[in-house]
Chain A
Amino acid sequence: MRSLRFHARLLALYFAQYAKARLAYRADFATAVLASFLGTAASFSVVLLLFSRFPHLAGWSFHEIVFLYGFSLLPYGFFNVLSGNLYEFADRYLVEGRFDRILLRPVSPLFQIFFESFRLESLQEVLTGAVAVAWAASKLPGLSPLGLALLPLWAVFGAVIYLSVFGILTASSFWIEDRVGLAPPVFNLMAFGRYPITIYDLKVKVLLSTVIPFAFASFYPTTLALGRTSFAPFFWAVPAVALLFAFLNRAIWRRGIAKYGSTGS
């Protein structure tokens, strides 16, 4: 418990320091936010375009799709804010040797890797997503209040799932020298979660619900609110999946750090 409070305070401090440093270059930051927003807007407009032709997609209405898509931006945005260091881990920490410094501080190494840098502009995604969800919700009658109330918490679980999966992929650099790695193709899989899982074939459904459980991060969490009761078991499994992958991630990092300790690389 003390450790939790200590880490929470430290996180707030890390974030404040990073934001301060980042905001020192206002124009630079504003450009980054704008670029990030344009990216989100562009991929969103693909959905709008699609629906100008087909008012329904495999039994999902336009507003439901906006709801779904908007929600998917929440865990995705949180993930993007925190994942900056994961991409750089192999080069900046292992090759350049900064990982030594991480090990010399009385703070969890994984905590330091996740929270030493933030991609602030991705907060834009969280905001855009929230606006889209709110708008779609206002157009959809009969949403489940419990489903809506749980959305923010489920978004956090979703972010935990994304971070854990990419944490595990990043930890592979402890064993594999390949710097390109598996992260980019897996990253592309995140886009699948923006649409109802029912539109994919069985293989994709299984993949997104098991090894790479992205459906638990962005699709299943919306099903309770949208009244798709057939997905209820999946909806309620979200916290367990998040905890399972967080636990796996931690275990793999432990082994990675032990391996680093024995080889120094």
Chain B
Amino acid sequence: MSEPAVRVRDLVKTFEVTRKSPGLAGALKGLFRSERTTLTAVDHVSFDLDRGEMVGYIGPNGAGKSTTIKMLTGILTPTSGDVTALGLVPWRDRRAYTKSIGVVFGQRTQLWWDIAVVESFRLLREIYGVSEADYARRMKVFDDLLDVGRLLPQPVRKLSLGERMRCDLAASLLHEPTLLFLDEPTIGLDVVAKANVRSFLKEANKLLSTTVILTTHDLDDIEELCERVVLIDRGQILWDGSLRGLRDRHLPEARIRFDLNPIPAGDPAELSVGPWRAARLSQGRYQIVVDKREVGTADVLREVVRDLPVLDLAVGEPDIEEVVARIYRENAALRRPGAEALPEGGAPGAVAHRGVRRG
């Protein structure tokens, strides 16, 4: 396919925020004049999503993820810029567009709270005009993959978070949307529920070649599901590519964490392992941070096991929050006055600028 499923160009969203002064005097003052601040939530964002692609859209809280998703789903209208999704403009052709997309907000259910799950599904069947035959066939698939069959007679309010999420996912796919938005689909789920949701998404993506855009805090979601991540911070895209590439470029670290038995004499704060230093985390537990650009993790492991009385050992990588925090710091450093080529405030390309105006 030459035409991408979603095409985003120079998307900008600003909000006007009224700054409230504290106290009664402030409230009174606010009656007469209020200080308005313009906040740029999404700042010239551009990307394409190909059909059948599964993309992770990540970034810290307040980075502009949700605002972007809300524009892509047609809830919000952008301040400027273009979105063409499935050949439509989401906020302008909302009714037609919502027929071919599915949306899951991890924090909120789209099912009717008080009625049985199956009744919600029947309403959705009617709303999206799904035929009885398609409905039956799809419900069978949802039951196989998500085990929703036994949940159907229960009212939504009685379901656990994991059960509710499974039902919500099924509901969002009932009309076989070509484009699926998932906002934190695994938030608050336990390990088993997360695994279920992920394998379902993988399966659904494969079976229906649905284009999926996923926002999450959970690195494992991305790692298991997405070839590609788009990282946004302060409204701007800082990375668009593979997760491995993102990590390798910005935080190429591995953390080797191990427990020693017996505990080394004197419970030292640091141990030497060959040329590397292991920092004490707690009694008997140490960690070596390996810079992968300099040395292979396996080489370090070998020496640790050889030199020390290791009882247990684990290798980890920095999680997404850390990678993002690192990128954010680098990003902030670039923006300091005097840093080359980045204009201060106002100009496109500057990060989340604020302008104050009296209203």
Contact = CB atoms under 8 A, between A and B. Distances in A.
B98 A258 contact: no
A31 to B, nearest CB: 18
A21 B118 CA distance: 12
B108 interface: yes
Interface residues of B, number: 31
Contacts of B128: 106
B105 A100 contact: yes
B56 interface: no
Contacts of A18: 115
A244 B293 CA distance: 72
B126 A103 contact: no
Contact of A104 (B15, B75, B155): B75
B83 to A, nearest CB: 13
Given A10-B126, A261-B91, A101 B110 contact: yes
Interface string A13-25: 1100110110000
A98 B119 contact: no
A261 B127 contact: no
Interface string A87-112: 00000000001101101111100000
Given A261-B77, A262-B76, A263-B15, A98 B126 contact: no
A264 B126 contact: no
A139 interface: no
Nearest to B98: A106
Contact of B110 (A17, A21, A104, A262): A104
A14 B112 CA distance: 10
A103 B91 CA distance: 10
Contacts of A20: 115, 119
B123 A258 contact: no
A17 B123 contact: yes
A101 B108 contact: yes
B100 to A, nearest CB: 9
B98 A105 contact: yes
Which of B67, B98, B123 is packed against the most chain A CB atoms within 10 Å? B123
The interface size bin for chain A is: 20 to 34
B127 A17 contact: no
A116 B110 CA distance: 13
Interface string B91-116: 10011101101010100101010110
A20 B101 CA distance: 29
Contacts of B122: 13, 17
A258 B77 contact: yes
A56 to B, nearest CB: 49
Contact of A10 (B70, B112, B127): B127
B203 interface: no
A179 interface: no
B75 A100 contact: yes
A13 B126 CA distance: 9
A55 to B, nearest CB: 49
Given A103-B94, A104-B103, A106-B98, A21 B114 contact: yes
Interface string A101-142: 101111100000000100000000000000000000000000
Contacts of B248: none
Nearest to A10: B126
Contact of B112 (A17, A100, A258): A17
A141 to B, nearest CB: 49
A105 B103 CA distance: 10
B241 to A, nearest CB: 30
A264 B105 CA distance: 16
A228 interface: no
A9 interface: yes
B307 interface: no
Contacts of B94: 103
B99 A97 contact: no
B312 interface: no
Contacts of A262: 76-77, 79
Given A17-B119, A100-B70, A106 B96 contact: yes
Interface string A203-227: 0000000000000000000000000
B123 A13 contact: yes
Contacts of B112: 17, 116
Given A9-B126, A21-B115, A98 B77 contact: no
A107 B127 contact: yes
A97 B123 CA distance: 21
B15 A105 contact: no
A100 B15 CA distance: 17
A111 to B, nearest CB: 11
Interface string A145-165: 000000000000000000000
A17 B127 CA distance: 14
A263 B16 contact: yes
A262 B76 CA distance: 6
B98 A104 contact: yes
B216 interface: no
Given A101-B110, A104-B98, A264 B76 contact: yes
A17 B74 CA distance: 28
B215 interface: no
Interface string A44-88: 000000000000000000000000000000000000000000000
17 contacts: A9-B126, A10-B126, A13-B122, A13-B123, A20-B115, A20-B119, A97-B108, A98-B108, A100-B75, A101-B110, A103-B75, A104-B73, A104-B75, A106-B96, A106-B127, A261-B75, A261-B76
Q: Which 5 A-B pairs have the closest CB atoms?
A: A261-B77, A106-B98, A106-B99, A21-B115, A21-B114
Given A13-B126, A21-B115, A106-B127, 5 more contacts: A10-B127, A17-B123, A21-B155, A101-B110, A104-B103
